[in-house]
């Protein structure tokens, strides 16, 4: 007996894991396969007759409308991504293949949920520019922001400050309490540093127990000194009870200011690093009072 393909096609469409949409020239949904409930949380009967644009993420609406125009002008789109708002309010990332059918007089699209992939890509992008432990800016991104800030300072004839911070005797924490405790201290230092700066400033972990802080548009040496004092005070606060017997270590901070201490990123980093080591040596000097 021959197979009746015409009768089979509708059933096959509803078996597809991806969602099939048929949308008229006015963006009204005229057909959607059953997979829409998994994709958007709506049953097919709830979607049919409504505008597909009503479900689009507002931040993606302009780009999606441009894609619609392209498809309706006869240019199929097989790799368009956007976001939709599900019935429960959550966001779903969708990969579309769509074309305009003159025969049907409608736009036909197949939608695939790529939310997991999109989140994985976002995580990879984040990790490329951030320290995986503290979530702070990493060395590469900090360098890029420093150079950008220097160019802006040169154009505006403004100043900026670079702080180089090192945790004193951090190796002793790892040796005595273990690396897990050391990681907890690094995260606590990162949290306190971020709490001390403005959104326009940048805190980075350069590696190990070394951190940097970029302070933009800071006007006077006194303002820099006050910020250093604020950071040292914040970092000297005792650790919470969750740290047990572990004590918050002290820190040494070196400072470099543009343009006084250098005109480029390397010069400023070298100056701040050198100043930090001088502070650390002064702290350990028998006749000197503790510094940093």
Instruction: Considering the candidates 166, 201, 209, 273, report the single residue annotated as catalytic.
Output: 209
Q: Give the residue among 100, 117, 118 at the shortest CA–CA distance from 109.
A: 100
CA torsion sign for 56, 58, 60, 66 is positive
Contact between residue 96 and residue 111 where contact means Cβ atoms under 8 Å apart: yes
Beta strands in 125-250 (DSSP E): 160-167, 202-207, 210-216
Cα separation, 270 vs 168, in Å, equals 19
Helix or strand holding residue 146 (H, E): helix 139-156
Contact between residue 30 and residue 24 where contact means Cβ atoms under 8 Å apart: yes
* Residue whose structure tokens are 């805190």: 203
Tokens standing for residue 141: 């991104």
* Residue whose structure tokens are 């009870």: 241
Ramachandran area for residue 42 (φ above 0: left; ψ -120 to 50: alpha; else beta): beta
Contact between residue 272 and residue 256 where contact means Cβ atoms under 8 Å apart: yes
Tokens standing for residue 26: 């006015």
Q: Confirm whether 209 is a catalytic residue.
A: yes
Contact between residue 185 and residue 248 where contact means Cβ atoms under 8 Å apart: yes
First CA to last CA distance, the chain: 89
**Positions marked active-site:** 209
């Amino acid at each position: 007996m021959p197979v009746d393909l015409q009768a089979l096609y509708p059933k096959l469409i509803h078996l597809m894991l991806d969602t099939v949409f048929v949308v008229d020239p006015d963006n009204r949904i005229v057909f959607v396969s059953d997979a829409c409930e998994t994709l958007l949380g709506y049953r097919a009967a709830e979607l049919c007759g409504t505008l597909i644009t009503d479900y689009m993420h507002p931040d993606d609406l302009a780009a999606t409308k441009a894609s619609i125009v392209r498809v309706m002008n006869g240019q199929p789109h097989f790799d368009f991504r956007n976001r939709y708002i599900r019935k429960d309010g959550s966001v779903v990332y969708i990969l579309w293949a769509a074309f305009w059918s003159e025969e049907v007089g409608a736009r036909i699209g197949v939608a695939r949920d790529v939310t997991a992939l999109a989140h994985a890509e976002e995580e990879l992008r984040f990790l490329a520019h951030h320290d995986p432990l503290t979530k702070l800016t990493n060395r590469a991104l900090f360098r890029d922001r420093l150079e950008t800030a220097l160019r802006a300072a040169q154009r505006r004839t403004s100043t900026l400050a670079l702080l180089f911070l090192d945790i004193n005797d951090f190796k002793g924490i790892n040796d005595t309490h273990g690396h897990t405790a050391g990681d907890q201290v690094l995260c606590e230092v990162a949290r306190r540093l971020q709490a001390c700066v403005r959104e326009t400033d940048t805190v980075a972990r350069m590696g190990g127990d070394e951190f940097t802080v970029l302070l933009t548009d800071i006007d006077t040496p006194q303002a820099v000194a006050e910020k250093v004092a604020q950071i040292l005070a914040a970092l000297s606060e005792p650790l919470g009870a969750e740290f047990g017997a572990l004590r918050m270590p002290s820190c040494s901070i070196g400072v470099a200011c543009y343009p006084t201490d250098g005109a480029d990123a390397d010069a400023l980093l070298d100056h701040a690093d050198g100043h930090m080591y001088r502070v650390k040596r002064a702290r350990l000097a028998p006749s000197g009072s503790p510094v940093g």
